[in-house]
Amino acid sequence: MIRRLLHRFLPSARAVHALAPVAQPVAQAQEPITWSPRDVGFHDAVLDGWFLNDSGELLKGFAITADDTVLDVGCGEGGATLFAVRQGASVIFTDSEHDKVRDLSRQIDAQSSRPCLGLVSNSLPLPLVDGCASKVMCLEVLEHVEAPEPFLAELARMGRPGALYLLSVPAPVGEHLQKGIAPANYYQSPNHVHIFTPERFAAMVEDSGLVIEHRQATGFFWVMGMIFFWASEKAAGQDPGGAVRDRIHAPYPELMQGWARTWNEMLHRPDGLAIKQALDNFMPKSQVIIARKPFDAGDAP
């Protein structure tokens, strides 16, 4: 981390005597400002319509209420699950890693008295009854799954008729760009084993029986942020493979901090939002789909 220190050199003792009684200013060390990529990335996401606390929408068009039972498949650190908890929903959350499920369970217990269930599962199959959820979330998970079509079929089975789905995967342009920079094991199991075109992503969702209601590109900020992460790790002689998402914590590399500062300054320009939207569409980090499970002929809406 770059530290800026302002030095004031005192003159010699003879010069001090000659200049007396003029006082010399005392140098003060200035603490560097830490720019958090996570904080700037969160602000960027809110501008895209994520985490709208006032309306209870995890993403614009995907509202969660206290009447919902929410299933978060591949919950990871639990940001989406905890948002649902704050809306008063009952939650079911799954992940293939025991520690993630355990840690998230503890956070939920401290925040809510509503029923919740944490499962350690690879989701093929999910040990849950059909139609258990009114809202289903699966964010940045399908790219890790060897067989995404059966996985999506399981997600479709979990939703009750009329259930709303929030699904996301990395977008291909950013993935192909990072593929020349990231370590090789980032594109090997258990990391990213698929790169989905928008057409394939949409086709898989529709083939699972869901009806797409909204599509969105988001997150250019994180494409560049990850590139700066890879560059920083390589410069430090580190192997950044493995569960990369868990490694991007403070203290952040200088390159990532510099990028966070630059992006924050750009967003606060009069034309900042228009520039952001153009770049999000050109090279998004994620492609997002909101879909709905249709009612069967005999189902009451």
pLDDT tops 70 at residue 22? no
In this predicted structure, which of 11-15, 114-118, 238-242 has the lowest mean pLDDT? 11-15
The number of beta carbons lying within 10 Å of the beta carbon of residue 200 is 14
Q: How far apart (Å, rounded) are the C-alpha atoms in residues 83 and 188? A: 31
Q: What is the residue extent of each domain of the chain?
A: 34-292
C-alpha to C-alpha distances, 133 to 81, 234, 292, 293, nearest whole angstrom = 13, 43, 12, 11
In sign, the C-alpha dihedral spanning 52, 58, 60, 65 is negative
pLDDT at 245 over 70: no
Q: List Cα–Cα distances, 295 to 64, 71, 162, 233, 245, in angstroms.
A: 20, 19, 6, 49, 37
Q: pLDDT digit string (tens) for 31-58?
A: 556 899 999 999 999 999 999 999 999 9
Confidence of residue 242 (pLDDT cuts 50, 70, 90): very low
Mean of pLDDT over the chain: 87
Whether 23 shows a pLDDT value over 70: the answer reads: no
Q: Of 76, 59, 92, which Cα lies nearest the Cα of 217?
A: 59
pLDDT reported for residue 97? 93
Residue bearing the bigger pLDDT, 211 or 15: 211
Tokens describing residue 279: 């770049």
Contact 275, 165 (CB under 8 A): no
> Could you tell me which residue, 205 or 113, shows the higher pLDDT?
205
Over residues 56-87, the pLDDT tens digits come to 999 999 999 999 999 999 999 999 999 999 99
pLDDT surpassing 70 at residue 6: no
pLDDT above 70 coverage of the chain, percent: 83
Determine which of 24-28, 155-159, 190-194 has the lowest per-residue pLDDT on average: 24-28
Distance CA 126, CA 114 (A): 22
Superfamily of domain 34-292: Vaccinia Virus protein VP39 (3.40.50.150)
pLDDT band at 203 (very low <50, low <70, confident <90, very high): very high
Please answer whether residues 232 and 255 qualify as being in contact, where contact means their C-beta atoms are separated by less than 8 angstroms: yes
pTM assigned to the model: 0.85
pLDDT band at 237; cut points 50, 70, 90: low
pLDDT of residue 273: 97
Query: How far, in Å, are 74, 121, 243, 294 from residue 100 at the CA level?
Result: 10, 11, 12, 32
Dist. CA 147–CA 162, nearest whole Å: 25
In this predicted structure, what is the pLDDT of residue 159? 98
* Predicted confidence (pLDDT) at residue 197 exceeds the cutoff of 70: yes
pLDDT score of 180: 81
Please tell me the predicted confidence (pLDDT) of residue 296: 78
Q: What are 90's strand-pairing partners?
A: 69
Residue 8 above 50 pLDDT?
A: no
pLDDT at site 179: 86
pLDDT top residue among 190 and 199: 199
Q: Is 90 in contact with 113 (CB distance < 8 Å)?
A: no
**Lowest-confidence pick of 177-181, 233-237, 238-242:** 238-242
